A and B are shown apart, each in its own frame.
Chain A
Amino acid sequence: MTVTAKSTDTSPRVERPTDLADVARSEAALRTFLHGLPGVDQVGADARAATLGTRSIKTSAKKWAIDLAIRMVDLTTLEGADTPGKVRAICAKARRPDPADPTCPAVAAVCVYPSMVATAAEELRGTGIHVASVATAFPSGQAPLAVKLDDTRAAVSDGADEIDMVISRGAFLAGRYMEVFDEIVAVKQAAGAAHLKVILETGELATYDNVRRASWLGMLAGGDFIKTSTGKITPAATLPVTLVMLEAVRDFRSVTGRQVGVKPAGGIRTSKDAIKYLVTVNETAGEDWLDPDWFRFGASTLLNDLLMQRTKMATGRYSGPDYFTLD
């Protein structure tokens, strides 16, 4: 590893310059910084998330939120059984989620395995829909660094403009923060111009203190987004975990001036849930994050529920799942 913190370009738009780039100068400095972050009281964070979940979003606000949520979806297929045909099908859905209604917006991105990136890139060329690829030996991340970097480069060269990497949870939980940091920096470099989403896999980090530390680690190392989960571990995204991450991006911007996005992924299946997340974004990080550039949903089944609710809002009638394509 030759990459250092200084080359990570963590703060190109610094308004109030700080020494944060320096916190990764040594293992000890990084540990001191991460452990110096304010703690998270789990009971309090859960209670806050539950209260935000009681907001009642109706009529015009609901309509607006559903369209925004559709635009924020990273439509995802991450199965061993994926084929180019299946990927072409979800790309078609990404472009026109509701074929019956041309006013329905397109989703933000399609998220696939590296082997499927070329297919997705071809299908989505010129649409403005991003091609996201998981990389770095997703979902476990248990591969040598060189393999992870090759994985990343392959996805980018096939046309991915967003890379969803996984951190080494083993190293993080063992307290080897520098190793995790360096790895993110290296992947960021390998990803080049592609946007880097850092998957924390919060279900394996277990505590909210860890979630906050991993969020800061991911941001300090240059991540453009921090993402909750791979979707392969239970629990995946939860509202309180996302709340803690939103607090982290809010605080990070106020210190460094750099805005980082947040992506909850896995387990968000209903419009009602999606709206709770948008309320949490609105009242935690603020409305600057209410944009597909700064907040995404990693989901597959969520989209159909959003479409059903959208149709219901427009027609006043519920239609069944048979009226929306599965992929």
Chain B
Amino acid sequence: MPAFEYAPAPESRSIVDIRSSYGLFINGTFVDTSSGGSRKTVNPATEEVLAEVAEAGEADVDAAVGAARHGYENVWGPMRGADRAKYLYRLARIVQERARELAVLESIDNGKPIRESRDVDIPLVAAHFFYYAGWADKLQHAGFGAIPRPIGVAGQVIPWNFPLLMLAWKIAPALAAGNTVVLKPAETTPLTALAFADICQQADLPPGVVNIITGGGETGRLLVEHPDVDKVAFTGSTEVGRAIAKSIAGTKKRLTLELGGKAANIVFDDAPIDQAVEGIVNGIFFNQGHVCCAGSRLLVQESIAEPLLARLKHRMATLRVGDPLDKNTDIGAINSAAQLERIRELSAAGESEGADRWSPPCELPDRGFWFAPTLFTGVSQAHRIAREEIFGPVLSVLTFRTPAEAVEKANNSPYGLSAGVWTDKGSRILAIADQLRAGVVWANTFNKFDPSSPFGGYKESGYGREGGRHGLEAYLAH
């Protein structure tokens, strides 16, 4: 029993009002699905069923795309940028006003700790809408031609790791540029997207501008393959991204993909060591490691590997795993049974391939989906845990001796989404970042996001950029 035992400090869930069932948000109203299908969404921390959510079929997708087309041609497309901006600012302000509700709902549906949904996810959602609201009447200055035009109807499919934030990344730039959208949230985390539909109503957003349809992979396939969709944006696994790219090849559709990652977090021997440890922890244990840009491969210079790992283990022992709604929780629940299974399988593979597995002593709740923060040492480049995306709180530690070796190992991956460099030497940061084939390189920090900063991948991590001025390009014809 620790001397300083933090008493439970649960955030009240009374602020959220979860309905027993949800329809589809098409043309500004909630409607029943014509297929009649539905699926349940559960709280991954307790396995409690939260709500029944409609499963959109072909006719529903057709209706949603039709509503978006109508909204685009008659209202949103012709609207002045300054007027679109007013709506976007309004959405941003309502997100801020309802921040606590959205944070609690996100934690309940996704399993992420309230500290993160409250301090990271929701503030960034509002920031994205504020940021792109500012662009709506300045598109001609974005560098994409003198008279940039919207593309039309965007079909957007987003993952379950940052449900509302990924929605904001997709919807804010699309709307700012004058497009309308049909968005499909992930099947395990639809609730905040449906709350966002409510926010659209509250903001008096014209019908058809934002349509939200729920469902599984089949619904997503129907959406991206719909002939009247002009633009497809997908965030998720490389496997699905590849299938989408194949399915729309040869059509008029434009595509951006933000896929998997296996980021190298490179720590040089002159790094600010305590902050590097924080960055490693934040890099891989933030959001239970359900982060496509997670720093899942730690590359540490051999000369400081031992003291660094000692500090890292000490720090990992202070991580608090448990109830996502407890304000002191650092690591929440794994989002689904299927994901938990994948993490277990890859971790077992790590052990059987000869890497050393370590976790701090940590009691996991009986119900729900949980995985203790895990560290693998003695990992080699050939191990599966060094190559495949685990998408969980599992860190693989490799060592290097020279900067060239660090770069070589970091780049030796089919992915290229992000990387981290830790050193006190500014010149080395620039030199290494220049050689890393990754869309984002963080220096002496990790997992920092800002709406003004573009984000996206190299190689199998996808193409296109989201965020910043660059993020507009995907939604403008020029």
| Residues on A with beta carbons closer than 8 Å to the beta carbon of B4 | 61, 64-65, 278-279, 282, 287, 290
In the complex, chain B residues 317-352 whose Cβ is within 8 Å of any chain A Cβ: 318, 327-328
Please report whether the interface of chain A is mostly helix, strand, loop or mixed according to DSSP: helix
Is there contact, CB below 8 Å, between A44 and B327? no
A60 at the interface (CB under 8 A from B): yes
A135 to B3, CA, bound (A): 34
- The residue that B9 contacts in the complex, of A38, A47, A56, A283, with Cβ under 8 A, is A56
- The residue that A290 contacts in the complex, of B3, B6, B8, B270, with Cβ under 8 A, is B3
| B394: min CB distance to chain A, Å | 22
| Residues on B with beta carbons closer than 8 Å to the beta carbon of A43 | 275, 444-445
CB-CB under 8 A for A44 and B272, given A55-B6, A57-B7, A59-B7? yes
| Residues on B with beta carbons closer than 8 Å to the beta carbon of A283 | 318
A65 to B445, CA, bound (A): 32
A43 to B444, CA, bound (A): 9
| Residues on A with beta carbons closer than 8 Å to the beta carbon of B327 | 54-56
In the complex, chain B residues 250-289 whose Cβ is within 8 Å of any chain A Cβ: 270-275, 278-279
| Residues on A with beta carbons closer than 8 Å to the beta carbon of B328 | 55-56
Is there contact, CB below 8 Å, between A287 and B3? yes
CB-CB under 8 A for A61 and B279, given A39-B272, A40-B274? no
A118 to B424, CA, bound (A): 50
A269 at the interface (CB under 8 A from B): no
A45 to B8, CA, bound (A): 27
A41 at the interface (CB under 8 A from B): yes
Is there contact, CB below 8 Å, between A38 and B271? yes
In the complex, chain A residues 261-294 whose Cβ is within 8 Å of any chain B Cβ: 278-279, 282-283, 287, 290
Report which residue of B8, B9, B272, B274 has the largest number of chain A beta carbons within 10 angstroms of its beta carbon.
B274
B278 — nearest CB in chain A belongs to which residue? A48
A201 to B278, CA, bound (A): 26
In the complex, chain B residues 1-25 whose Cβ is within 8 Å of any chain A Cβ: 2-9
Please report whether the interface of chain B is mostly helix, strand, loop or mixed according to DSSP: loop
- The residue that B119 contacts in the complex, of A54, A59, A60, with Cβ under 8 A, is A54
| B11: min CB distance to chain A, Å | 9
- The residue that A44 contacts in the complex, of B3, B115, B119, B445, with Cβ under 8 A, is B445
A64 to B5, CA, bound (A): 9
| B51: min CB distance to chain A, Å | 28
| Residues on A with beta carbons closer than 8 Å to the beta carbon of B318 | 283
A62 at the interface (CB under 8 A from B): yes
A123 at the interface (CB under 8 A from B): no
A38 — nearest CB in chain B belongs to which residue? B273
CB-CB under 8 A for A44 and B278, given A38-B271, A287-B3? yes
CB-CB under 8 A for A45 and B274, given A54-B115, A56-B327? yes
- The residue that B7 contacts in the complex, of A47, A48, A60, A247, with Cβ under 8 A, is A60
A58 at the interface (CB under 8 A from B): yes
| Residues on B with beta carbons closer than 8 Å to the beta carbon of A58 | 7-9
A32 to B348, CA, bound (A): 45
Query: Chain A 23-63, CB within 8 Å of chain B: the 1/0 string?
Result: 00000000000000011110111011000001111111110
| Residues on A with beta carbons closer than 8 Å to the beta carbon of B278 | 44, 47-48
| Residues on A with beta carbons closer than 8 Å to the beta carbon of B274 | 38, 40, 44-45, 48, 247
| Residues on A with beta carbons closer than 8 Å to the beta carbon of B3 | 282, 287, 290
Is there contact, CB below 8 Å, between A61 and B7? yes
Is there contact, CB below 8 Å, between B273 and A44? no
A55 to B320, CA, bound (A): 11
| Residues on B with beta carbons closer than 8 Å to the beta carbon of A60 | 5, 7
Is there contact, CB below 8 Å, between B272 and A40? yes
| B200: min CB distance to chain A, Å | 31
A287 to B317, CA, bound (A): 13
Is there contact, CB below 8 Å, between B5 and A61? yes
| A272: min CB distance to chain B, Å | 14
- The residue that A48 contacts in the complex, of B2, B8, B9, B275, with Cβ under 8 A, is B275
Is there contact, CB below 8 Å, between B6 and A40? no
| B205: min CB distance to chain A, Å | 33
A40 to B270, CA, bound (A): 10
Query: Chain B 404-447, CB within 8 Å of chain A: the 1/0 string?
Result: 00000000000000000000100000000000000000001100
- The residue that B424 contacts in the complex, of A39, A61, A287, with Cβ under 8 A, is A39
A203 to B424, CA, bound (A): 23
| B332: min CB distance to chain A, Å | 15
| B397: min CB distance to chain A, Å | 19
| Residues on B with beta carbons closer than 8 Å to the beta carbon of A48 | 274-275, 278
Is there contact, CB below 8 Å, between A41 and B272? yes
| B138: min CB distance to chain A, Å | 30
A59 — nearest CB in chain B belongs to which residue? B7
A196 to B26, CA, bound (A): 72
Is there contact, CB below 8 Å, between B275 and A41? yes
| Residues on A with beta carbons closer than 8 Å to the beta carbon of B7 | 57-62
| Residues on A with beta carbons closer than 8 Å to the beta carbon of B445 | 43-44
| B103: min CB distance to chain A, Å | 13
Apart from A57-B9, A61-B5, A283-B318, 6 more pairs, CB < 8 Å: A44-B274, A56-B9, A57-B7, A61-B4, A282-B4, A287-B2
Q: List 20 A-B contacts (CB under 8 A).
A: A38-B271, A38-B273, A38-B274, A39-B270, A39-B424, A40-B272, A41-B272, A43-B445, A44-B272, A44-B278, A44-B279, A48-B278, A54-B119, A55-B327, A55-B328, A56-B9, A57-B6, A60-B7, A61-B7, A64-B4
Chain A residues proximal to chain B, CB less than 8 Å: 38-41, 43-45, 47-48, 54-62, 64-65, 247, 278-279, 282-283, 287, 290
Top 3 nearest A-B pairs (CB, nearest first) are: A44-B275, A56-B9, A41-B272
